[in-house]
A and B are shown apart, each in its own frame.
Chain A
Amino acid sequence: MTLGRTPSQTVGPYYAIGLCRRPANELLARDAPGALELTGLLLDGRGETISDGMIEIWDAFGGRWGRCGTEADGRYTFVVAKPEAKDGSAPRLDVYVHGRGLLRHQLTRIYFPDEPEANAADPVLSALDERDRQTLVARQEGAGLSFDITMQGESATVFFDH
């Protein structure tokens, strides 16, 4: 017998009451070896910033998880590390985007800009066309990384079925 799955409902605008009771945006200590700051904007289909979104990052290979609500200016910030490449896949972070107006959270990925060879060989990334691929690779910004997430339109980020 198979049970019916409980349907998803939006996280709504007040998620911080339950989900941000403790800061969780540092996947590892800021001063740990390999720690990098990752920041970006969450944008809607009109290019406006989303101030009540929430990003969750899972570094499956490093076993590190974190969560960050977007600020009034739509920005999120994490401390992450680049995971090791594994089984022919490029290093990446798995990302869930939650927000008011999203009936279900959306899945995307962050790849690293200093891994051109591994990225070119990655089975998921290399199956995408150039425009789509570009939306999943973070930009180097100073000592850290920048990755904007756009929900719709010309520059929309690629989202995966999950």
Chain B
Amino acid sequence: MTDRESPVVLPDDPSFGGEVQVDYPGYRSTRWRAPDRPLVTLPEELHDLAGPVFGESAIDEFDNDLTAQHEGQPLGERIIVTGRVLDVDGRPLRNALVEVWQANAAGRYRHQVDQHPAPLDPNFSGGGRCLTDDDGRYRFTTLKPGSYPWGNHENAWRPAHIHFSVFGRLFTQRLVTQMYFPGDPLFQFDPIFNSVRDPKARALLVSRFDLETTMPDWALGFQWDIVLGRGGSGTTPFEEQA
């Protein structure tokens, strides 16, 4: 029964830095999908290629409020998730397109492939998007997503998370990742979370509860900044455009 092995969570190893393992044994789906040849290095100047620019036309009303996209209110714990999109030098990235998707409060995605026997919510689709403001800030109103089981190994459950997709100014600043909630008891068992082997880098995936962001009598607030590097090396500084 090799299909139902125990989770493989490798020991922390800060020497991996922020690099993500492309073939992580604990996450079984990487086995036949992660590239098995060395990646080819592009000339340095190609990392300066500008990426796509999105404008207000990419955004519809209620795209940043996942609790307001249907006639009724969805069930669950209402939350505000906000933060800034920055480059590694701390500069805000304005007009960055931030897209999110998540399970509902019961841990179920509105997707035909998700067969977890938890209820769908007719008032929750689970998708949103917004552009960052002049300060690089994004902000969503949504629900705390539930944890849910998955088929990776026996009794495998994902920690609660919101998927994020972000476009930076440069093409190679593209980032797709997942934001987690502080103190989740499932962290230590989750191969996807632990595929980031440096505990300091991994901590960057966890949001922070923030009482100031919390809206009295309305919603809990979480802060999570997103720092976009520029590709595999991630260390080369680049000039700010005037």
Q: Which residues of B are found within 8 Å of A48, using beta-carbon distances?
A: 32
What's the Cα separation between A159 and B172 when bound, in Å?
A: 14
Contact string against B for A residues 1-20, beta-carbon threshold 8 Å, 1 for contact and 0 otherwise: 11111111111111111110
What's the Cα separation between A152 and B37 when bound, in Å?
A: 7
Q: Is the CB of A14 within 8 A of B192?
A: no
Quote the shortest CB–CB distance from A100 to chain B (angstroms): 5
Q: Is A29 an interface residue (CB 8 A)?
A: no
Contact string against A for B residues 68-105, beta-carbon threshold 8 Å, 1 for contact and 0 otherwise: 00000000000000000011111000000001111000
Q: Is A120 an interface residue (CB 8 A)?
A: no
Q: Is the CB of B18 within 8 A of A102?
A: no
Q: Is A98 an interface residue (CB 8 A)?
A: yes
Q: Is A50 an interface residue (CB 8 A)?
A: yes
Q: Is the CB of A102 within 8 A of B232?
A: no
What's the Cα separation between A99 and B34 when bound, in Å?
A: 10
What's the Cα separation between A17 and B102 when bound, in Å?
A: 8
Q: Is the CB of A11 within 8 A of B127?
A: no
Considering only residues 155-174 of chain B, those with a C-beta below 8 Å from chain A are 163, 165, 171-172, 174
Q: Is the CB of B177 within 8 A of A9?
A: yes
Stretch at the interface among B1-9, B181-189, B222-230: B222-230
Query: Known contacts being A5-B229, A103-B195, A156-B36, is A17 close to B125, with CB within 8 Å?
Result: yes
What's the Cα separation between A103 and B27 when bound, in Å?
A: 9
Quote the shortest CB–CB distance from A149 to chain B (angstroms): 11
Considering only residues 13-36 of chain A, those with a C-beta below 8 Å from chain B are 13-19, 21
What's the Cα separation between A3 and B200 when bound, in Å?
A: 12
Q: Which residues of B are found within 8 Å of A60, using beta-carbon distances?
A: 49-50, 171
Quote the shortest CB–CB distance from B238 to chain A (angstroms): 12
Q: Is A139 an interface residue (CB 8 A)?
A: no
Q: Is B41 an interface residue (CB 8 A)?
A: yes
Q: Is the CB of B227 within 8 A of A3?
A: yes
Residue of A nearest to B50 (CB): A60
Q: Is A105 an interface residue (CB 8 A)?
A: yes
Instruction: State which of B32, B40, B196 has its C-beta within 8 Å of the C-beta of A152.
Output: B32
Q: Is the CB of A161 within 8 A of B177?
A: no
Instruction: State which of A15, A17, A45, A159 has its C-beta within 8 Å of the C-beta of B32.
Output: A45
Considering only residues 115-162 of chain A, those with a C-beta below 8 Å from chain B are 123-124, 128, 132, 151-153, 156, 158-162
Q: Which residues of B are found within 8 Å of A94, using beta-carbon distances?
A: 49, 171
Give the interface of A toward B (CB within 8 A). Answer: 1-19, 21, 44-46, 48, 50, 52, 56, 58, 60, 63, 65, 94, 96, 98-107, 123-124, 128, 132, 151-153, 156, 158-162
Q: Add 11 more A-B contacts to A12-B178, A156-B36 (CB < 8 A).
A: A4-B201, A6-B226, A9-B176, A9-B196, A17-B109, A44-B33, A124-B46, A151-B32, A151-B34, A156-B37, A161-B39
* 27 contacts across the A-B interface (CB closer than 8 A): A3-B88, A4-B18, A7-B18, A10-B29, A15-B101, A17-B101, A17-B111, A21-B129, A45-B33, A56-B174, A58-B51, A63-B52, A98-B176, A100-B29, A100-B33, A101-B30, A101-B33, A101-B34, A102-B34, A103-B21, A103-B22, A103-B192, A151-B36, A153-B36, A156-B36, A160-B41, A161-B39
Give the interface of B toward A (CB within 8 A). Answer: 18, 20-22, 24, 27, 29-37, 39-43, 46-47, 49-52, 86-90, 99-102, 109-111, 113-114, 125-129, 163, 165, 171-172, 174-178, 192-193, 195-196, 200-202, 204-205, 225-229, 231-235
